[in-house]
Chain A
Amino acid sequence: MNRSFALPEFIYLLAALRWTLLLSLVAFLGGGVVGFVVAILRTTDSRILRLLTTGYIQLFQGTPVLMQLFLFYYGLAVLYDMQVDAWPAVALAFTLYAGAFLGEIWRGSIQAIPPTQWEASACLSLGYIDQLRFVILPQAMRISIPPTVGFLVQLVKSTSIAAIIGFVELTRAGQLIVNVTFQPMVVYPIVAALYFAVCWPLSQLSRSLERRIDADLGVKRHL
């Protein structure tokens, strides 16, 4: 008895898309907090803090997100000595994954601000926090917006990996529907189209922001 793909199945996919978006949002916000702290610490004078944060970034950038997912999923299971819900594991794993990448993007943005801006503000008797708050971060933020939105697109797509440990987001929901309909070439194009519907506007946004910031800064693009 095969079900065929119809409105209820489509609604099931849409409901699962909600989890993709929620996971992306949690990872982006959580990763944003982690990334902000990491970016700031990576640019401080303290060697120890720089080493620790660099280690964190290298660990998370140098291993597949799937491994991180496995480690958190089974790690939490071992820690609590029971089968755990997939949600805390994927939320934690993707938060730390996003934190590493956002931290690196934002560190680059902070370091792209000429040292003379630090110097000029120090010479006006501004303390470190005030230098960051009023002089460095506002400029770094502008530079970082396009790559940040670009990363968000990557993040939305990479949440599909959470399907592997059974977290029912869009991709996993697609698999489940295929299992009952045996119509992969109907279901997966629709799943792909749903991802596209989320990601395409984001990448357009990233591009238009980039153009606007370039125009603000008077950069001429040779492309």
Chain B
Amino acid sequence: MPILALSGICKRFGAHVALDEVSLTIESGEVVAIIGRSGSGKTTLLRCINGLELPDRGEILFDGRPVQRSRAALRSLRREIGIVFQSFNLFPHLTVERNITLAPMVAKGLPLAAARELAGEVLRQVGLEDKIGAVPLRLSGGQQQRVAIARSLAMRPRLMLFDEITSALDPELVGEVINVLEKLATEGMTMILVTHEMGFARHAADTIVFMHQGRIWEKGAPSRLFTAPATAELASFIDAILPVGRVVSDAVL
């Protein structure tokens, strides 16, 4: 049974159709990279999965159960689905440790000692155990993003969503965040990523979803999608992000 199944998801913002009959299933342990031009609905799709946006139509099944819209249902859903944002969104008034322990203690009732232990553990996962006492603003963008990942991991989610998490970073800081993602992927975390990091998408993702005009335009294994796109839109998208051409890009990818 897939861990997540979307069927016929539609979402409009005024006259703009953000999502148009999107259906997608994700197996446990699968790594899915969603690519596409800006405005193609990638982020909206991601936000529908954990209820940050409510679809106008369609059904979402998480772990075989339909996702309800009540506050309580969303809260319990979000204990199992983590999300990391482009702009980190750490709590600036709290230390790294408190950023991480807050939700497990408040939302899951974990005692302080256990929460602290957990904070150390997830920080080790992202390689930042020495920053446990720091305040977020003293950290680099890459470090802040790794703390945000750790904060999300501390909820022990069964599915992680990543929304362009390297897009706000200076280029030299992207690598450290990608490394964390790769580690998570090899550890078997189920992940859905909206990303522009094609190199990462190509070698770490099991499935690439190409979105265009609010629809899933093309979907498949990275080896096929990147080398033999079936649609003109995907071909032109690949050319656009890798202007040197696909022959060279194969080597780069």
Contacts and interface: CB of A to CB of B under 8 A. Distances in A.
A119 B50 CA distance: 11
Given A116-B85, A116-B87, A124 B151 contact: yes
A183 B102 CA distance: 64
B155 A124 contact: yes
Interface size class of A (residues with CB under 8 A): 20 to 34
Interface stretch (B24-32, B74-82, B119-127, B233-241): B74-82
A127 B89 contact: no
Interface in A130-152: 130, 134-135, 138-139, 142
Contact of A218 (B85, B93, B137): B137
A122 B83 CA distance: 10
Contacts of B107: 124-127, 130
A77 B171 CA distance: 72
Nearest to A118: B89
Contacts of B92: 139, 217
A20 B135 CA distance: 42
B52 interface: yes
B89 A116 contact: yes
B103 A126 contact: yes
Nearest to A120: B89
Contacts of B106: 126, 130, 134
A154 interface: no
A47 to B, nearest CB: 17
Given A130-B106, A218-B137, A124 B78 contact: yes
Interface of A: 116-117, 119-128, 130, 134-135, 138-139, 142, 217-218
Interface of B: 50, 52, 71, 74-76, 78-79, 82-83, 85, 87, 89-93, 102-103, 106-108, 137, 151-152, 155
Given A120-B85, A126-B102, 18 more contacts: A119-B85, A119-B89, A120-B89, A122-B52, A122-B78, A123-B50, A123-B52, A123-B78, A123-B83, A124-B78, A125-B78, A125-B107, A126-B103, A126-B106, A126-B107, A134-B91, A138-B93, A218-B137
